[in-house]
Structure formats: C-alpha cells, structure tokens
Structure 1
Amino acid sequence: MQLTRPDLARVLERAVAVEPVADVGWLAAPPPRSRVLRRRVALELGASLTDTADALFGWAVHRGAGLTIAPSGPVALGVTVVQAVRVGPLWFTAPCRVVDVVRGPDEAGFTYATLPHHPETGVESFRVLRDGDGLVFEIHAAARHDFWGSRIVPPAAHRVQDRVTAGYLAAARDLSRGSRPGTR
C-alpha cells in the first residue's frame, strides 16, 4: 500500500523470483476462512470464442477492468503479472503467477495464484466457455485476506474485490461486442 503510483516494473522484477502462496487446488477445495466467488456473464450472441480468448490472453479484460498491469508476457503457464488498483488515495499492488492454462474448442482461459505481497492469498480463474448457443465469461476465485487492513475490515476488502470482479465482467462483455472496454 502506498500513496503514489507504484513502479510496476520494479515490483514485477521482484515478483518473478518468488513462488505462489496458493495453488489451483483451492478452487476445488478452498481452505477454511476463504471467500469463494463465482460470477458469470453472457457474452454477445455471435461472439467468437477465439477472439474473446485472444483478448483475455492479451490482458485486455484486466486492463478493461481499470487495473494498471505489468505482465512478463501474454498469458502462458509461468507468466507473472503485477496489477495495481487505486482505492481512494492509496495504491495496492497484486502480484500473481499463471498456474493453469486451458485453450480448447469449447473453453479457453487461465488461473493465476497470488504471490507474496498480494493483499489476498488465493487463486482466480478466468474462462470463456460455450454455453448452449452462446458464450459466457466466468470468474471463479477462492481467497483469504492476507493484508492486515483486509483482516481488520473484511467488508471493505470485499467491496474492492467485487468492484474489480464487476469490471472484469463488464470488460469481457464489451470485448465480445467488439468495443473497447469502458466504452459501453
């Protein structure tokens, strides 16, 4: 947490050298005291799974959600990304590592796990899926509060997480319409 915009390149440089503090198994069996979140949104009828997945793998959904990000590359197994979010006058950084990637004819997406110095400890999955005649974008997360402020005031931490999640969903919906995120 800091008052000035963080130097994401520097945070990324440190983050690539550390290991995740959670694993993909948390989605199936969340540890005690975890907050589990699962949200989905229908995408534009006629949206392309390939095009939407390409945008997701290029971090467009994260940028469209209003996050400032510094990835070590496009989404691939082992890629590290540092995200920054501003909450009032404060900036928080959230380093993560991609721990699972799926790219098939009916589903594409990835899961990342938090790294040390992330406000939460957990995993989050982002998927574009065929659902009947259309596509849906789904987020599934399991996390515990790691930052002292989140542990003291969990409702505030939940509001920030919910705001970012709503941003992901809106960005995915906008991308499926062929518009730039945030230009609804």
Structure 2
Amino acid sequence: MQLTRPDLARILDRSVGRQPTAELGWLGQPPSRARVLRERVVLGPAASLAATADALFGWHVHRGAGLIILPTGPADVGTTVVQAVRVGPLWFAAPCRVVDVVRTPDEAGFTYATLPDHPETGVESFRVLRDGDRLVFEIHAVARHDFWGSRILPRIAHRVQDRVTRGYLTSARG
C-alpha cells in the first residue's frame, strides 16, 4: 500500500524468483478463514471462445477491469504478473504467478496464485467455456486477508475485490 503509483517493474523483478503463497488445491478445498467467490456471466451472441481466450491470455480482460498490469508475458504456466489498483488515495500492488492453464476446444483459461507482498493469499481462476449453446466467462477465487489493513477492515477489502471482479466480468463481455 502506498500513496504513489507503484513501480511495477521493480516489484515484478523482485517477484519473479518467489514462490506462490497459496496452492491450486485451494479451489477445491478452501482453507479456514478463506472467502470463496464464484461469478459467472453469459457472453453475447457475437462472442467467440477463441477471441475471448485471446483477450484473457493477453491480459486484456484484466486491463479492461481497470487494473494496471505488468506481466512477464502472455498468461502461461510460470508467467509472473504484477497488478496495481488504486483505492481512493492509496495504491495496492498484487504480484501473482500463473500455476495452471486449460486450453481445449470447449474451454480456455488460467489460474494464478498470489506471491509474497500481495495484499491477500489465494488463488483465482478465469475460464471461458461452452455451456450448451452458450458461451460463459467464469471466475472462481479463494483468498484470505493477510494484509493488516484487510484483516482490520474486511468489508472494504471485499468491496475492492468485488469491484475488480465486476470489472473482469464486464470486460469479458466486451
């Protein structure tokens, strides 16, 4: 947390060698004190799985949600990304590592896990998939508040997480 825009290049450089603070298994078995978030939106009739997947893997969905993004590359296993969001006068930087990727004819997406210095500890999955004759975008996140500020004021932390999640869903709908 800081009052000026974070130096994402410096944070990315520091984060590349660090290990995730959460495990992929959290999506199936959340730890105690974790908040579980699941959201889903039906994409419009003009949406294509390939185009939405390209936007997702190229970080366009995240940028469209209002985040400032600096990744080491497109989303792929091992990619490190630092995201920044402004909340009132404060800036928060959130480093993550992509730990899982899915690419099939009917589903595409990835999951990332938080790295040290992220305000939370958790994992978040982003998927675009066919559901019958519809195309949907879904988010599944499991996280604990590990930053002192979010532990003291969890409602505010939830509001920020919800705002970013709504931004992802809106951006995916394009």
TM-score by length of 1: 0.94
Alignment of 1:1-150 (within 5 A): 1-150=1-150
**Worse-superposed segment, 46-55 or 94-103:** 46-55
Aligned-partner Cα distance in 2 for 1:142–1:164: 14
CA drift of 1:46 comes to 3.6
Gaps of at least 5 residues in structure 2 are none
Runs of 4+ in 1 over 6 A off after TM superposition: none
After superposition, what is the alpha-carbon deviation per residue over 1:31-79, rounded to whole angstroms, capped at 9, x for unaligned? Answer: 0010000000000114210111011000000000000010000011000
TM-score by length of 2: 0.99
Aligned residue type for 2:115: L
RMSD in angstroms over aligned alpha carbons?
Answer: 0.5
Gaps of at least 5 residues in structure 1 are 175-184
Aligned residue type for 1:141: A
CA drift of 1:130 comes to 0.2
Aligned-partner Cα distance in 2 for 1:66–1:164: 8
State percent identity of aligned pairs.
77
After superposition, what is the alpha-carbon deviation per residue over 1:151-175, rounded to whole angstroms, capped at 9, x for unaligned? Answer: 001000000000000000000001x
Q: Helix, strand or coil for the counterpart of 2:30?
A: coil
CA drift of 1:134 comes to 1.4
Q: Helix, strand or coil for the counterpart of 1:36?
A: strand
Aligned residue type for 1:170: T
Contact 1:78 1:97 in 2 (8 A): yes
Aligned-partner Cα distance in 2 for 1:47–1:94: 29
